[in-house]
A and B are shown apart, each in its own frame.
Chain A
Amino acid sequence: MRLKEGFITHEEDGEQIMVATGDMDFSGLVRSNRTAAFIVDSLKEETTKAAIVEKMAEKYDASREVLEKDVEIILGKLRSIGALDE
């Protein structure tokens, strides 16, 4: 899976903002904290849920269960706005 090409991000003050270009249906704005932004950034190239969890485990001091849950939540949100190519 990966982030659809029509979605672009901007980082400022520890916050990531994501919007969709005109070719996409989504016309809102997604604000992500550092953890969510890490997941979004991982999706800028082809990856899997397991690979994202693995990358997060290297960076964050949290249990795999918690990380898997967090990744699933963010992926669910991205799916709901049509931001994922799967």
Chain B
Amino acid sequence: MTMRNTLDEKMIVLISCALHGTTPEKEQVEKLDLAALYDLAEAHSLTAIVCMALEAADAFSTADPKLKKKWLDAKNKAIRKNMLLDAERGQILKEMEKAGIWYMPLKGSILKELYPRFGMRQMADNDILFDPAGQKEVTHIFLRRGYKAEVLGRGNQDVYMKPPVYNFEMHTALFGSGIHEGWTAYYCDVKKRLCPDAGRKFGYHFTDEDFYIYITAHAYKHYSISGTGLRTLLDLFVLNWKKGDVLDREYINAELKKLGIAEFEEKSRRLAKKVFGTAATLKETDLTEEERELLAYYSGSGTYGTTEIRVENKLRELQPDGEAITVRTKLRYICLRVFPGREQCRDQYPFFYRYPLLLPVLWIYRMVRGAVIYRKRLGTEIRTVKRKSQK
């Protein structure tokens, strides 16, 4: 697998330029297919940072005005969304303070502050960890503010949405059950790991080290299930770039080992540094074959991963011998998907977890829903399993 001379590689150079405040060279933006680049950047939630690099290089001077507007709109929307989410989060946290519910903002809302310019790090939503004992009151807070509860009481997060851009994921735990063995236990008493915010009674934050560990674990969760895109690699780079000198590596490594992700972190960190550490174009010899494959995996995943990668990873989990996927493995996969067992329902369908005798009702519901609502996604999943059988 190679990244040489691909659009991915050109986008990476542009991102690095924006990050390090250098103007991309003329040949780096010349003959760029700005429409294809837009689609790629959008798939990775990186339109804003790429747009900033393109603006610096004056790449829009000869571009189709509609395309130029599309890029600028995407950048401005990212800036606007970050501002709106910040302001709204502030209001929600104030209400949680008043209600006496402890809380800690997670992920993007913290990471974005480490990027050199506002809006560079796009946010789709806002994640907040909070006291599970305050779950009902938190629901009242959101409903009072005009939100619709999209997901409530299922798994470890409730999802609230309100037009035009507000999307809050409220976590009662950092990871749901069945994600990775031991993670739920590691984070079960998470509050013990938190530090109180100055000037707030109920606000908390991780130490830099524990934040780094959590971000890595979260990245690995997506990486190992459906894949995760270049923004994750970029986050990891920015985190090391801005905090690397003060982090207690010994502690981090020991904790990452406990979570079983020390190797993933080391490989991703090294790759991220090679890829985003300089604004120069990557040379063929800069990356090892393994690093090229890892980069291709990040590049091929998009922000939220893909169904294809999820299916492939699950098949590999069921058959970890590295050999070609057998018919038996595929049948096991299909059985698990069509007839999920009680344990699989713990987070997603707690009602059926409590009443396992009713599982057949769920199976029929899922079959009908899959055929009617998720037809396309189901088609991709079936095709991926089928392709595996042809290998």
What is the interface of chain A, defined by CB distance below 8 A to chain B? Answer: 8, 10, 12-13, 17, 19, 21-22, 27-29
From B81-89, B252-260, B314-322, B370-378, give the one contacting chain A.
B81-89
Q: Is the CB of A22 within 8 A of B166?
A: yes
Q: Does the CB pair B87–A22 fall under 8 Å? A: no
Stretch in B30-38, B59-67, B157-165, B281-289 touching the partner: B157-165
CA–CA, A17 and B82, complex, Å = 12
Complex alpha-carbon distance, A64 and B79, angstroms? 35
Report yes or no: A29 in contact with B79, Cβ–Cβ below 8 A.
yes
A19 to B87, CA, bound (A): 11
Give the residue name and chain of the A residue nearest to B163 (CB): A22
Nearest Cβ distance between residue B125 and chain A, in whole angstroms?
A: 15
User: Is B80 in contact with A29, judged by CB distance below 8 angstroms?
Assistant: yes
| B84 pairs with A19, CB closer than 8 A | yes
| Cβ–Cβ < 8 Å partners of A13 in chain B | 117
Cα A13 to Cα B88 in complex, Å, equals 24
1/0 per position for B101-125, CB-CB distance to A under 8 A? 0000000000000000110000000
Decide if B84 touches A22 in the complex (CB within 8 Å). yes
17 contacts between A and B (CB under 8 A): A8-B87, A10-B79, A10-B118, A13-B117, A17-B79, A17-B83, A17-B118, A19-B79, A19-B83, A21-B84, A21-B88, A22-B162, A22-B164, A22-B165, A28-B76, A29-B76, A29-B80
Interface of A is mostly: strand
Which B residues lie within 8 Å of A28 (CB)? 76
Q: Give the shortest distance, in Å, between B158 (CB) and chain A (any CB).
A: 20
* Closest residue on chain A to residue B166 by CB atoms: A22
Residues of chain A with a CB closer than 8 A to B117's CB? 12-13
Residues of B within 8 A of A19 (CB): 79-80, 83-84
B 139-168 binary contact with A (CB < 8 Å = 1; else 0): 000000000000000000000001111100
6 A-B pairs with the lowest CB-CB distances in the bound complex, closest first = A19-B80, A29-B76, A8-B87, A12-B118, A19-B83, A29-B80
Decide: A8 near B83, CB < 8 A? Known: A21-B88, A29-B76: yes
Q: Is the CB of A10 within 8 A of B163?
A: no
The answer to whether B164 and A27 touch across the interface, beta carbons within 8 angstroms, is yes
Bound-state CA distance A19–B88 (Å) is 13
B196 to chain A, nearest CB (A): 27
Known contacts A13-B117, A21-B88, then 17 further A-B pairs from the complex at CB < 8 Å, ordered by chain A residue:
A8-B87, A10-B79, A10-B118, A17-B79, A17-B83, A19-B79, A19-B80, A21-B84, A22-B162, A22-B164, A22-B165, A22-B166, A27-B164, A28-B76, A29-B76, A29-B79, A29-B80
Distance A25 CA – B195 CA, assembled complex (angstroms)? 40
Contacts of B83 in A (CB 8 A): 8, 10, 17, 19
Q: How far is the CA of A13 from the CA of B164 in the complex (A)?
A: 27
List chain A residues, Cβ under 8 A from B79. Answer: 10, 17, 19, 29
**A13: nearest chain-B partner, CB-CB:** B117
Give complex CA distance A8, B87 in Å.
8
Min CB–CB distance A19 → chain B (angstroms): 5
Nearest-CB distance from B146 to chain A (Å)?
A: 8
B163 near A21: Cβ-Cβ < 8 Å: no
State in angstroms the CA–CA spacing of A34 and B270 once bound together.
41
Chain B residues with CB below 8 A from A27, complex form? 164
Bound-state Cα–Cα, A47 to B191, Å: 46
- Chain B residue nearest to A17 in the complex (CB): B79
